[in-house]
């Protein structure tokens, strides 16, 4: 996304690649994504690989991922639901909360800068 820097250069439709298999759209902004441990494959687009990289370090909500990847929320949901369908990610609905066994980056007390970046990501996407 190159807002404020002139015209857009890289469009969002490159993120999910050519695959257009319909996926179940049950993900929400606060759904937590957890890596299943399957490594990224060469056929994954860079955006998918980046999402897998992000979640490999712990778990992240869809909204946070969208912020880190600087992608619109809808696009990030599309990416995540593809990876969930293919078994690379697990999705947990916000109600169940974050299980104890799963580490989040800066577990328990997220640093201020991270919260600011999440806020920025949300503001960009919403």
Partner 1 sequence: MSGEAASIPEDLTVTAIHEVAIAALSATIVGIVIAVALTARSRRTLSRSHAQARASAAAEEQRKIEALQHLVNVRLPSQALHLRSAHYPVPGLGDTSLSGTEFAALLDSVQELFAKVVLEERHRVDAAARAALRGAFMEIQAKSYQLQTDLDTLQQTCEDEETLKNYFRLDHLNEQLARLVQKGAIVAGSWPGLVRSDTHLPDLVTGATSRLHGFERIHLHSKLRTDTVGVVGRAAEPIAVACTELLANALESSRADLSVEVTLLQTDNGAVCIQIDDAGKGMTTEEASRAAQLLAGRQQVLLTELGDPPALGFAAIGQLVADHGFQVTVDQASPYSGVRAIITIPPALVTSIDPHTAPLSAMSPLPAPAPRAPRRAITSDDPGAASPDSGVLPQRHRRGRRVPGLEERAVPGGRPPEPEQARNTWDAFEQGIAAGRAGTPSDIRNEDRT
User: Considering the complex, what minimum distance in angstroms separates the CB of residue 97 from partner 1?
Assistant: 21
Task: Give, rounded to a whole angstrom, the gap between the first and last alpha carbons of the chain.
Answer: 14
Q: How far is the CB of 99 from partner 1 (least distance, A)?
A: 18
Say how far residue 23 (Cα) sits from the centre of its chain: 16
Of 56 and 90, nearer to partner 1 (C-beta) is 56
d(CA 109, CA 105): 9
Separation between Cα atoms, residue 110 and residue 116, nearest integer Å: 10
Q: CB of 119: closest distance to partner 1 in angstroms?
A: 14
Nearest to 57 by CA among 119, 104, 121, 107: 104
- Residues forming contacts to partner 1 in the complex (CB under 8 A) are 1-2, 5-15, 17-18, 20, 22-23, 25, 35, 37-40, 45-47, 49-50, 53-54, 56-57, 60, 68-75, 77-78, 81, 105, 113, 117, 124-126
């Amino acid at each position: 996304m190159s807002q404020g820097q002139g015209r857009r250069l890289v469009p969002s439709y490159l993120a999910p690649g050519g695959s257009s298999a319909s996926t179940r759209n049950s993900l929400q902004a606060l759904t937590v994504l957890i890596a299943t441990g399957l490594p990224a494959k060469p056929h994954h687009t860079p955006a998918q690989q980046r999402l897998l990289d992000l979640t490999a370090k712990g778990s992240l909500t869809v909204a946070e991922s969208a912020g880190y990847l600087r992608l619109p929320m809808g696009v990030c949901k599309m990416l995540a639901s593809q990876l969930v369908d293919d078994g690379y990610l697990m999705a947990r609905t916000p109600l169940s909360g974050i299980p104890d066994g799963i580490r989040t980056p800066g577990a328990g007390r997220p640093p201020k800068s991270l919260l600011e970046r999440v806020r920025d990501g949300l503001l960009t996407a919403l």
